[in-house]
Chain A
């Protein structure tokens, strides 16, 4: 319980922090943007990965999300959900991208495993887990897992963001994490 409380408080203070940074960004403060980037890039990237066919797409979404956030910061209405706001931008970018790309097919798994094995900073456990997640989980499951585990969104926020019933989010999440757990234990 202490851990939960700590997490909870942490999440709240992160939200406060992000809102303060967005307020500064709204006035054109690029240092604030840099700080926001440092605090949130894993969250955005995780979600971007789950929505992208290739590492290249994910990188584009990551980049564009922050550019758009900077430009739209003055329209952010503070209501304690800056992370969800950021994710909505990422989602919309990904959807737009998907429409542009049309039905181009990729070999996503190959792309990702090449990308990940080239990344020196990624440990082998991490690589295995990420590869499994991208391989085995459905796109929605990936999104939910990333948004919860990496971005720290609440299930309710995820439901809203992805336009899914809360129950679906809950059940998909638990199924997905179980799948990953089993895979990792089998390794």
Chain B
């Protein structure tokens, strides 16, 4: 027995079980007077906030299947992808029923969980997915950006759907930042990039836009692993066309411009009143989000990359009349002695709360996420294809800069901390995955 046959049996059962009261009804209606009329009440004002309503979506554990669109008419009219970090792709037919819902990455799998969205209305599915993203902490105060990409097939009006979904999601997320784009015309190059990096065509298209327009500051490879919130923040530095943006990407996860500037000034031995021509923007460099800070002090131009998470100095340049300090040239400026960055500081300072700057030419370099993953996998005796929910992130732990790598394999959850410079395994753990 399937759902449909249960439903129709129930329907006929109720019909057959119902008493016939029509005669009573008709005769009662003659005596109209004096009767209390129970009305359908006016639509109740919603007291729940949008977020709460979405959060309630979380309960969604759809094990059953509603209408399944099968057969030849289940043609894909549009493909909607939702990227946050989790990437979900929904294929819908012309009635906007979901034909297929697919997670495009491990986070996406977490989001979809046991939800079976096939056959549901697109709107319902989008609600459920966004709700699950909120519940699972992928969308919050600190990272509030979501990318909605619509690809229409044939004559399908992707623009309209895009606009509608954008509005809907903006309404669901108070203080969210919603990027929408119509990718019906995405070229094969973008599609190929999406495939290569295992990301949605929508995300690939956004990254491609940024890379094309940012004067070579980034390459695709570098940005492919970023979350939409990070990309949204970065995209502010360039002109990105074809993407509608609603709301402001949150930078609350980061230390903020003031603190970043403070760190740079402290490092330079300057105070705010000494400098001019200040520019600060969030960017992604050296595998981390950084505040790029530029300022002048007299004839000196300073250029800092301050780690946006912990305020450490990732890199800096100090240029006087064309000579660049990062080559190790000793020079004197107002920042006398403070601008060199060898580890054996001669100033023996007490302001050693900065990590040594990891200027690319000056010694240690991050091993990179891929290397960290391969070290962890190697230690576990597994290969990338064996594991799921692979996550890696750069973090600081007990003063060490580490890659935290976690993944799952046949009932076990593995966690590693890999030294981000030496690739040494600092910590490993394997436990039963509950």
Q: How far is the CB of A23 from chain B (nearest CB, A)?
A: 16
Which has the most chain A C-beta neighbours within 10 Å: B17, B19, B64? B17
From B54-62, B235-243, B371-379, the one touching the partner chain is B54-62
Given A88-B41, A167-B59, A170-B62, A71 contacting B93 (CB threshold 8 A): no
- Give Cα A1–Cα B99 distance, bound, in whole angstroms: 11
Are A149's CB and B11's CB within 8 A?
yes
Are A165's CB and B26's CB within 8 A?
no
Given A4-B67, A177-B3, A89 contacting B12 (CB threshold 8 A): no
Chain B, 61-84, CB within 8 A of any chain A CB? 61-64, 66-67, 69-74
**In the complex, chain B residues whose CB is within 8 Å of the CB of A67:** 25, 28-29, 35
- Give Cα A93–Cα B97 distance, bound, in whole angstroms: 35
Tell me, yes or no, whether B332 is within 8 Å of chain A by CB: no
Given A71-B35, A181-B6, A150 contacting B26 (CB threshold 8 A): no
**In the complex, chain A residues whose CB is within 8 Å of the CB of B1:** 181, 184-185
Are B39's CB and A75's CB within 8 A?
yes
- Give Cα A153–Cα B41 distance, bound, in whole angstroms: 18
Chain B, 30-64, CB within 8 A of any chain A CB? 32, 35, 37-41, 43-44, 53, 56-64
- Give Cα A173–Cα B124 distance, bound, in whole angstroms: 15
- Give Cα A137–Cα B195 distance, bound, in whole angstroms: 46
Are A2's CB and B16's CB within 8 A?
no
Give 1 or 0 for each of A128-164: 1 = CB within 8 Å of chain B CB: 0110010000000000011011100001100010010
Interface residues on B, range: 35 or more
Partner of B40 from the list A55, A88, A119, A180 (CB cut-off 8 Å) is A88
**In the complex, chain B residues whose CB is within 8 Å of the CB of A86:** 40
Q: How far is the CB of A82 from chain B (nearest CB, A)?
A: 10
Are A66's CB and B10's CB within 8 A?
no
**In the complex, chain B residues whose CB is within 8 Å of the CB of A88:** 40-41
Which has the most chain A C-beta neighbours within 10 Å: B21, B32, B72, B73? B21
**In the complex, chain A residues whose CB is within 8 Å of the CB of B120:** 170
Are B18's CB and A41's CB within 8 A?
yes
Tell me, yes or no, whether A34 is within 8 Å of chain B by CB: yes
**In the complex, chain A residues whose CB is within 8 Å of the CB of B432:** none
**In the complex, chain B residues whose CB is within 8 Å of the CB of A122:** 13, 16-17
Are B62's CB and A71's CB within 8 A?
no
Chain A, 1-31, CB within 8 A of any chain B CB? 1-2, 4-5, 8, 30
- Give Cα A167–Cα B52 distance, bound, in whole angstroms: 12
Are A92's CB and B10's CB within 8 A?
no
Tell me, yes or no, whether A72 is within 8 Å of chain B by CB: yes
Partner of A129 from the list B10, B56, B95 (CB cut-off 8 Å) is B10
Are A89's CB and B67's CB within 8 A?
no
- Give Cα A49–Cα B62 distance, bound, in whole angstroms: 26
Are B13's CB and A129's CB within 8 A?
yes
- Give Cα A178–Cα B40 distance, bound, in whole angstroms: 31
19 pairs of residues in contact across A and B, judged by CB atoms under 8 Å:
A30-B26, A30-B29, A38-B22, A42-B11, A46-B10, A62-B19, A63-B28, A68-B37, A70-B29, A72-B40, A92-B38, A92-B39, A122-B17, A123-B13, A146-B14, A150-B15, A166-B57, A171-B62, A177-B64
Q: Which residues of B come within 8 Å of A, CB atoms?
A: 1-3, 6-19, 21-22, 24-26, 28-29, 32, 35, 37-41, 43-44, 53, 56-64, 66-67, 69-74, 93, 95, 97, 120-121, 124, 127-128, 131
